[in-house]
Structure 1
Amino acid sequence: MKKLLLVGSILGAGLLPNAAMAQAGPNPEEASRGSGTQARVADDNVIMVTAQRREESLQDAAIPIVAATGEQLSRAGVADVTQLGKVAPSLNIVNQAGSATSFFIRGVGNFNNNNLSDPAVAFNFDGVYVGRPSSTAAFMDVQRVEVLKGPQGTLYGRNATGGAINVIPVHPELGEFGGFVHAGYGNHDSYELSGAINAPLGDSVALRLSGIINGHDGYFADGTGDAENLALRGQIYAEISPAVDVRVLAEYSTRGGNGPGGNLIGAYQLTPNVFLPPNTPTTIPNWTYTAAPASVAEPFSGLYTPQSLAYLGQFLAAPLFSRANAPAYPSIDDEIWGVNAEFNVDLGAAQFTLIPAYRKQELHNIYSLGIFQGALQDETAEQVSLEARLAGSVGLLDYVTGLFYYNEKTTFRASFNQWSLQNNGNARNETESMAAFARLVANVTDQLRIVGGIRYTDDQKSIDATQPSLAAICVAATPNCSTVPSIPFRPTIEESIAAINPALFVSGLTPLQVPLGVPVPYFADPSQPAIMIRGNTIVKDESSFSRVTWRGALEYDLSDDNLLYASYESGYRSGGFNITFGRENYGPEYLDAYTVGSKNVFFDGLLQLNIEGFIWKYRDQQVSHIGLDLSGASAFFTENIGRSTLQGIDVDFALSPTESTTISGSVQYLDASNDAYVYQVPDTNTRPAPFNFVTPLVGCPYTGSTVQTSRGPLATYAVNCSGTRPINAPAWTARLGLEQVVELGELSLVGNVDGFYRSTRELTISYLPTSRSGEDLTLDASLTLRPADENWFVTAYVRNLTNEDVLTNYTSGTPNVISVSYEAPRTFGVRAGFDF
């Protein structure tokens, strides 16, 4: 907090402008809300949002929402969804590995991003729900982005427990010829070239074409953390008649480069020959943490430097306890296509809208993060959706009702190699979701409105998967097979075995030549005996989930400029599958959200002040972790383990003391606790019962026990993290800032100083002392020169001015070596553009 107060005093009021507050204002089109006083902090830049399926100003929307225009996103350096945290104070984004991206709102989010689960925070592009978090659209030619906090689903798209992100592109305009060309260059050889053109094709048809190419060199010394992106979009809009219009959009984008980078910061090592009996009341016993040398742990040094590879090679990867040799170098090669349309028909008494859509993505990623020798992901996902809505008014009632259909089919091939363990997954999944929804607004008086929404959802899911596996296990009296080579990283088990010198299999047989589950002697040195065991998990299953969710709210206008609201909304996210024996399914999760708020304009538009209080009750939350399946093998799977309470307050403001000065910001306080949070982890000792327990590497209390498996009783631990703070749920988040405009004759000079503060947050469910982020404080600054007619601009910028090392991800692998990822370091450059 000291950092926050220091910078607050420097700026006189705060650090970073809240995009929603800086531009919000009353909606002049809503007579029922009154004309309102045009806020001076907003001038003509009122943000119009459609999160409630009606056009209204952000200040009139009686829901927890943050919005930012395309210009604000560009100024903040938000080039894609991974950087949205710059404009949405309660949104934490983690780029985990390859193309995987996780969104967390107030501690509610995804622990994994495979195609076996649904997103906790829904992503919608141009009104279309996007099922795969990696299939998010490029941020080019964007009209605005809306971030909704809390359960979603009663109005559109699929259900989500944490919230929704809506990206709305700029649409074609009739009778207008124009466009823009923007370019930029900065350090790390960052580059950007983007443009759009809007052209009339007669009086009733318009075309809009957009494109962007951008990228940068790696932020890490080993070349990782780079980007190579391309996106193209075309739209055509036609007014077929005074009552009928249609718009069709098609887009194509690619992502390339080496993917996210990371650093090795240290390792936890088991104290030799120390075993404790079950139920020992200690935390993290028998484990010693040693920090990596400065040449390895220095932020942005990377995982693949000679120093990091030499450091990693010191450690033994269980259960083979052999050397962790060099991991595979990462790469990303993704393609995404999308086509969607919007048909609108004015029926006189009602408006009918139809939105058909098709999307496809192909991902080809390799990564390691220091926890894998290599991970390969080849995935194809296709989705088809159709939404139909009818909206209108009857007397005092405004209504929206509709139907939604969604079908997604995915196929993937994956290979995960942890030196002495390799799993290969091949799966076909299908999700079919159907929903009916309705929303009524009763305008009881000119000031009072009663809102009710309801949705019935039916989800049908199926999976057909096989997962061959290979384990190399040291069976020496003292587990140490440092001279035994680890399993080679290859796309399949067969290829990995073929890459091993046949002479190392002393029986003369390879694991492919013996039945599944039968050990094969594997020696590099007779004094260090090892075995290999091949297995295969087959999952062919179907699941059905259904739920009624609803929303109730009251809205009351104290005046034209002051709004009070209160609401309750229930949330649901369907269950899914694991490719794991005995744990093939997990159930839905649920969230109940209670909200009270007030949106206000004071002093003839000098000040906007919005306050929101909330209580979220989160139960049966889906958590992914390493555990013990019922075959006795360690496996990564998702299960319902949690119950949490998340409550707090959001305050947003925008103050304009002069015509040329704007001070704005937002602060969120979040009181969050895991009321119940218990999960099982396997004993790391590989000896069969009777056995000595090896305590797990976690920061929560635990008790030891046994579990019956197909291999007999095996050791396990119940880890109890109840009372801890949820993942990615900082107590304090603040965004504050200052904008100053200086008139220079026919030119304007606009200066911005922006910042962002987050208090310490937990990064993993292991709750280790080293997995806490620490406080984050970053500052951005920019200076823009533009003429009075605003048809061109030149901007100089610097982001992360103080070059803070902001942690975003924390992982530990088989050798218990810890790797971390960071947000971008200090970047600076120049952007220029011309609008015509």
Structure 2
Amino acid sequence: MMVILNNRRSRICAAVLTALLAQQAVAQESDEQSNETTNQVGLEVIEVTAQKRVQSLQDVGISVTALNAAAIQRYGIDDISRIELITPGVAFGFVGSDAKIAIRGANSNNTFADNSSIAGFFADGVYRPRASQQSQAYFDVARIEVLKGPQGTLYGRNTFAGAVNLTTNKASLSGFDMGVKLGYERFNRQSTETFINQPITDELAVRVAVQTLRSDGYIKNIGPAGDLGQEDSFNYRFSSYWEPSETFDATLRFTSINQKGTTPGIFSAEGLPAPVNQDGITDFRGQSLDSGNPAPGSAGTDSAFGRPNEVSYDVENNRDNQEDNITLELNWDLNSITVKSISSYTDFSSALDFDGDFSPNPGYVYYWDEEVDSVTQELQISSNSESDLFWTTGAYYSKDQIGFGFSQFRTQTNASFDTFTDTQGRDFTLFDGTELIDPFGNGSFSDYTDFQEIDVTTLGLFFQGEYSVSDALTLIAGIRYNEEEKDTTTSFGTSKASDGSFLSGVSEFGLNGRPIDLFNYTVSQNRSGSETFDIVTWKIGFNYDLNDDSMLYASGSTGFLSGGLNSNGSSFDQQESEAWEVGMKNRFLDNSLQVNFAFYMNEFSDLVTQRLIFPEGDGSTAITVSENAGSSDVIGFEAEINWLPADNWFINAGLSLMDAEYDTFGVTNPFQLNDGSLKAEVNNGLLVLDGITPPWSPEMTLSFGAGYEFDLGDRGTITPYLQFYYSGEYDTDDVSTYASQLQDSYTKTDLRITWRSTDETLSLEVFAENLEDEEVLARTNVGGNNLVQGSYLHPRNYGVKLRYHY
């Protein structure tokens, strides 16, 4: 193992050395050709706010992938799901409505209950606390920034491995503006996006943006219910900008997100084959795969297990996600300092239904409910003078009231069948009249629900300074204090009154609504708790300008993932990260070639795993709790290239080389087999995964894109653009030892052809994405009864988009 590790890390170090030598050679060539190349079209300056102020991307001493509006259009970015295709070191998975982003060997496998994403998501400077808020559709977006590495100093909580900044267009005083985008894609996906910007006075302007999405499902359901992944969304944003003087401005935004349709799962979208040993018993070491359905109530039916993006369900897997947010940003220029205030209120809720037995048999439904009321206030004060010291200091406060719960309800029947032949050829009568005959002894009726409420109060105080030792050298240091107070209570719900009768809206044949609205909830005894978490994070580093076009930087930084409270009142500690990075940012060949690369080493500690326990005294069944269980080390190299080699050409490329492994880590064995040979591999009841690669950590990813703009004279331009992506294999579950969760290496290729009118007011785009139609596992987990569950990324897509910009 050590030889393999050293070889991998040697390759990464060799890549760094090669990049440094290439940089020196290209720099020399650039100097020699600078007087000869006078007609070269230069790369535009991309402005970012990664360091809480507006800077050029090339002046920021951290790894940032930044996409402006043109790049967002070029890469077909409609939400977070395609970010990985053009961001080295980033991988994307999902389950239900939760985004499962991974950055540089850190993953977001645990986002249910009081667990957070490893990457903070910020919309117009406001943090969104739940992973389900990260997967909303993008519209009227000005810029997306993906910050890689811990951002604990300026961003605070839950930027353990990085952050994603989404900046929307604000109202402008520059004049009337409007635009319309219409799209039609595979699976009957119809989209519209419209914006209107209108100055009201010389000081006040307003902007309105509206988006609609409608589609059939991309996961085919051969059962009696509808397809999964249907969209039915109506989203809008109203913003106003007021600038009464040269020293003060205010931006008010109100955004409403309404996503309906059908969910691609709660814990997953579909069942996967389970690993079995030579005796036919489920075993994480098993080399054979069993595609039978082990879920209670399924009677072993073939539910399309092992056939990606195909299921056989009887439940309408409805989704209802809603979010309303109001954000007020105030800016003052007070001569020597500038002051920024960002205030926000967010009301978010998510309700998902799902087929509990993963089969076409009726009577078993899962429910997930989530709601957040969040108030945030951030105050930033920055220096605004010509001195050698630039600093930013500030305070952050938030109050989050979070509720979430999982429920299941299993009826006797609301339909009837005669006989059914299971996967082993046995015939069963499923229903006799209205009574379920249960050949496997699982029982014909059950209900279960837990709803946990958590109040979170967060306080942050931060300072970061940059001191210019000389014209070339700048030293950077920052520190942040973060404190979180959490209080939790858990309620247990039942569908029956104390006399055993069903509550209103509930019967043995089903529910007329959802458990959260119909069941009788009581606070569970001994299942409450409170905890205070505090931590100091820091950053040190330097930027050194080699010349006007090349910067060398190095930094060390720390971050953390919030500690949390389980539904039984127990707690788990904060997860912590420490990262060291050395990189260069360069522009060569008369500003036509941009080469940015970085070498990094990360250490993640107190990583959280999940364990199944059986509380007593409240009538509930087993619950899952989180606990700290290990650490991991990551070493890697990343590079991004943007190049305009000649008039009308543009080329981009990205490379990630990564070696990640657990130092120590353990997970619960999700499968039945637990004989003497297994016990030797268990520590404290957990499978030992020391030395294993964490999920979503491919050793190599590579992207390449190229386009050429053909000039058609007075008929406009036409631009074909080809984008290619390769990923090495990776695991999709923390239990990274069983065969059906492994995602093999794959490629994806996109093709776009765009026509633009001469005045660029009208454009037409024809595109195809994932030409290979790769079936890529997004995330895997094992539920009860050894049911392996998974979700796949989007299959091949194609369509057209028409844009008009006044």
Q: Normalization by structure 1: what TM-score? A: 0.78
Distance 1:605 1:364, change over 3 A: same
Give the counterpart letter for 2:574 in structure 1. P
**In the aligned structure 1, how far is the partner of 2:377 from the partner of 2:285?**
55
Moved more, 629-638 or 652-661: 629-638
Alignment of 1:123-522 (within 5 A): 123-136=121-134, 138-156=137-155, 158-222=157-221, 223-260=227-264, 262-268=269-275, 284=284, 289-291=289-291, 296-297=304-305, 299-304=307-312, 328-368=315-355, 373-393=364-384, 395-416=387-408, 423-467=448-492
State the match for 1:586 in structure 2: 572
**In the aligned structure 1, how far is the partner of 2:462 from the partner of 2:468?**
20
Are 2:715 and 1:740 equivalent residues in the alignment?
no
> Kindly, what percent of the aligned residue pairs are identical?
24
C-alpha contact (below 8 Å) 1:537/1:579 kept by paired residues:
no
What SS does the corresponding residue of 1:51 show, helix, strand or coil? coil
Distance 1:284 1:429, change over 3 A: closer
State the match for 2:695 in structure 1: 727
**In the aligned structure 2, how far is the partner of 1:217 from the partner of 1:797?**
19
Distance 1:220 1:704, change over 3 A: closer
Distance 1:273 1:93, change over 3 A: closer
**In the aligned structure 1, how far is the partner of 2:323 from the partner of 2:572?**
29
What SS does the corresponding residue of 1:171 show, helix, strand or coil? coil
State the match for 2:537 in structure 1: 549
Give the counterpart letter for 1:264 in structure 2. G
Give the counterpart letter for 2:336 in structure 1. A
**In the aligned structure 2, how far is the partner of 1:116 from the partner of 1:39?**
58
Q: How many residues align?
A: 699
State the match for 2:733 in structure 1: 764
What SS does the corresponding residue of 2:784 show, helix, strand or coil? coil
Distance 1:67 1:273, change over 3 A: closer
What SS does the corresponding residue of 1:109 show, helix, strand or coil? coil
**In the aligned structure 2, how far is the partner of 1:273 from the partner of 1:793?**
58
**In the aligned structure 2, how far is the partner of 1:385 from the partner of 1:62?**
28
Distance 1:333 1:683, change over 3 A: closer
Distance 1:498 1:790, change over 3 A: closer
**In the aligned structure 1, how far is the partner of 2:675 from the partner of 2:41?**
61
Distance 1:142 1:173, change over 3 A: same
Distance 1:704 1:273, change over 3 A: farther
Distance 1:330 1:274, change over 3 A: closer
**In the aligned structure 1, how far is the partner of 2:675 from the partner of 2:316?**
33
**In the aligned structure 2, how far is the partner of 1:216 from the partner of 1:657?**
40
Are 2:596 and 1:604 equivalent residues in the alignment?
no
What SS does the corresponding residue of 1:454 show, helix, strand or coil? strand
The alpha carbon displacement at 1:607 in A equals 2.2
Name which of 604, 626, 638 aligns with 2:626: 638
Moved more, 642-651 or 786-795: 786-795
Moved more, 38-47 or 214-223: 38-47
Are 2:646 and 1:658 equivalent residues in the alignment?
yes
CA RMSD, aligned part only? Answer: 3.3
Give the counterpart letter for 2:122 in structure 1. N
The alpha carbon displacement at 1:235 in A equals 0.5
C-alpha contact (below 8 Å) 1:370/1:818 kept by paired residues:
no
The alpha carbon displacement at 1:538 in A equals 4.2
Are 2:554 and 1:566 equivalent residues in the alignment?
yes
**In the aligned structure 1, how far is the partner of 2:158 from the partner of 2:111?**
17
The alpha carbon displacement at 1:469 in A equals 8.6
State the match for 1:479 in structure 2: none
C-alpha contact (below 8 Å) 1:469/1:493 kept by paired residues:
no
Q: Which runs of 5+ in 2 are unaligned?
A: 1-33, 222-226, 293-300, 411-441, 510-521
What SS does the corresponding residue of 2:335 show, helix, strand or coil? coil
Distance 1:113 1:704, change over 3 A: closer
What SS does the corresponding residue of 2:304 show, helix, strand or coil? helix
CA deviation profile, 1:122-171 (whole Å, cap 9, x unmatched): 00000111112222454110001000111113113534211101000011
The alpha carbon displacement at 1:111 in A equals 2.3
Give the counterpart letter for 2:379 in structure 1. A
State the match for 1:5 in structure 2: none
The alpha carbon displacement at 1:378 in A equals 2.4
Alignment of 1:654-733 (within 5 A): 654-681=642-669, 684=672, 694=675, 702-703=680-681, 717-733=685-701
What SS does the corresponding residue of 1:84 show, helix, strand or coil? helix
State the match for 2:772 in structure 1: 802
C-alpha contact (below 8 Å) 2:337/2:384 kept by paired residues:
yes
Moved more, 727-736 or 592-601: 727-736
Are 2:624 and 1:620 equivalent residues in the alignment?
no
C-alpha contact (below 8 Å) 2:309/2:792 kept by paired residues:
no
Give the counterpart letter for 1:751 in structure 2. P
**In the aligned structure 1, how far is the partner of 2:194 from the partner of 2:100?**
29
The alpha carbon displacement at 1:402 in A equals 0.3
Moved more, 73-82 or 349-358: 73-82
What SS does the corresponding residue of 1:296 show, helix, strand or coil? coil
State the match for 2:748 in structure 1: 778
Are 2:785 and 1:815 equivalent residues in the alignment?
yes
Q: Normalization by structure 2: what TM-score? A: 0.81
C-alpha contact (below 8 Å) 2:635/2:659 kept by paired residues:
yes
Give the counterpart letter for 2:693 in structure 1. R
State the match for 1:311 in structure 2: none
Distance 1:754 1:274, change over 3 A: closer
**In the aligned structure 2, how far is the partner of 1:39 from the partner of 1:619?**
52
What SS does the corresponding residue of 2:81 show, helix, strand or coil? helix
Distance 1:808 1:284, change over 3 A: closer
